[in-house]
Amino acid sequence: MEYAGGLAFISALWLLVLTAKGSDMSASEGHTDATTEVPWREYRENGLKRAQALGNRGPMRFDDDGVLARDILEAYRRTGFYVFTGVLSAAEIAELTAEFDAVLDNAPVQQDGDVDKHGRPVRFPGYYTLSQRDGTENGSDEPAIVGLVSHPLMMMDSALRTYGHPQILRMVASVNGADFVPFHESVFHKGAGEGPPTRWHQDGRTHWTDDGIALEQADGTGKTHGFNLSVSWSHCTPENCLWVVPGSHRRWRLANGGAFPPITERLAEAVPMTLEPGECGMVNRSSLHGAYPNRSAERRITMVIGFHKRTSAIGASTTNVHAFPRPGATKHITYSEDYVLRRARMIPLAIDARRQHFPEEAPYEYAGSYIGDGAWNEEARAQISREGEEYWQRDITL
């Protein structure tokens, strides 16, 4: 089902999610929320207890056929999210951090600027989402903060290599089938003491019944919206991490004139998806999730990558909000097989880039079809970033 609420709403929603205006809610220990009257410390501890009781956290485990362990799949399908521990090594995290810090250091001073704070040309102008420290849109002479960097696979070799991580891709195949296809990639950056909130929302817009019931079945079959995988290279604490409402992926909150709650509302059933560096949080895109303003001393950096079932993408008609340099635009589209298979090329490219960097590691063997050469080299690098033909031009919103 295509979302009928209007293109303007979707565009506005993504701008609110990624450059949300500042909230008066503080995450300080003594603060009490005006809506719930629950002190943050109590809310935080209750959330952590609920999260620990869900049984959806642990290392990736696979059966003899290379499929994710049944109890992991069942926990993910029941709760709508799962945290995988110990996925990336400390060395890989160090590479990601160093390269991302260089991207941050080269950010434009203003939203549409092409010069950084050092007076150098910005290598990737137009891909940064900036805001003021109070969360409002950037437009003054005050120093801006970077809240989001879109399409990192063409900016950071380390990000491309992580995209081809064999354990991650084996897990993806277990959830979405061996012929899985891409969704979109970005890096969320919630700076220490200055990260704006991410409003409560569900990402999925397409595969619901008219009454807002998920087409995705309890066993994972049926049309799905795929999942977001937050690859963390920071400490994601209750103060700065994503909070998820377990089981919320079954019903669409916007159906029949519904609405998402404001982020100032501390949902009693929500739980924090805490992550350590190297851990990965998989969230069903139909799940209700959001993040409170980061007033803590810990910055949060998570690269969000995602994947779809091929059968859920090809032929789907929907509103695409991702195939743009940064959030804010929309277009109606029906995904052709050619469109999807050209986007799927990024999977073998990432696998080959990782193989060259980690020759001692057994690479993942992608079983899906794709259009284009899967060898990673300078020609491929130029192709995926060529103006007007960038790989993200075929991002797949569902």
∠ CA 52-296-55, nearest 5°, is: 10
Tell me: pLDDT of 20 over 80.
no
- Domain membership of residue 116 (yes or no) is yes
What is the model's pLDDT at position 16?
41
What does the chain come to in residues?
398
pLDDT at 37 (0 to 100): 53
Residue 2 located in a structural domain: no
Q: Cα(first)–Cα(last) distance of the chain, in Å?
A: 10
**CATH code at 256?**
2.60.120.620
Closest CA relative to residue 227, chosen from 60, 382, 80: 80
| Interval 329-367: pLDDT, tens | 999 999 999 999 999 999 999 999 999 999 999 999 999
Residue 33, pLDDT > 80, answer: no
pLDDT in tens, 379-393: 999 999 999 999 999
Q: Count of domains in the chain?
A: 1
Cβ-based neighbours of 8, under 8 Å, separated by 6 or more: none
* 377 is a domain residue: yes
Whether residue 157 is contained in a domain is answered as: yes
Identify the pLDDT of residue 192. 87
pLDDT of residue 131: 77
Residue 395 has pLDDT above 70, yes or no: yes
What is the C-alpha separation between 288 and 201, in angstroms, rounded? 5
- The mean pLDDT value for 212-227 works out to 96
For residue 10, pLDDT over 50 is answered with: no
| H or E element at residue 148 | strand 145-150
Question: Which residues lie across from 331 on neighbouring strands?
Answer: 320
Asked, for residue 1, whether it belongs to a domain, the answer is no
Rounded to the nearest integer, the mean pLDDT of the chain is 89
Least confident of 143-147, 320-324, 368-372: 143-147
Residue 117 has pLDDT above 60, yes or no: yes
Tokens 């069942």 belong to 74
- For residues 186 and 324, what is the distance between their CA atoms, to the nearest angstrom? 12
Task: Give the pLDDT confidence of 42-80 residue by residue, as tens digits.
Answer: 999 999 999 999 999 999 999 999 999 999 999 999 999
DSSP, collapsed to helix, strand or coil, labels residue 11 as: helix
Listed in sequence order, the residues at least 6 apart from 282 whose beta carbon sits closer than 8 Å to its beta carbon are 76, 81, 82, 83, 84, 171, 175, 227, 228, 229, 230
* Cβ proximity of 331 and 323 under 8 Å: yes
Q: What is the pLDDT of residue 31?
A: 40
Q: What percent of the chain has pLDDT over 70?
A: 88
Q: Is the pLDDT of residue 132 over 70?
A: no
pLDDT at 18 over 90: no
* pTM confidence score: 0.89
Answer whether residue 19 shows pLDDT above 90. no
Asked, for residue 151, whether it belongs to a domain, the answer is yes
Is residue 210 a part of any domain in this protein?
yes
27 has pLDDT over 70: no
pLDDT tens digit sequence for 166-215: 999 999 999 999 999 999 999 999 988 877 889 999 999 999 999 999 99
Q: Identify the domain containing residue 89 by its residue range.
A: 7-394
User: Of 111, 121, 157, whose CA–CA distance to 18 is shortest?
Assistant: 111
Chain segment 231-288, per-residue pLDDT in tens: 999 999 999 999 999 999 999 999 999 999 999 999 999 999 999 999 999 999 999 9
Structure-model confidence comparison of residues 166 and 132, the more confident one? 166
127 within domain boundaries: yes
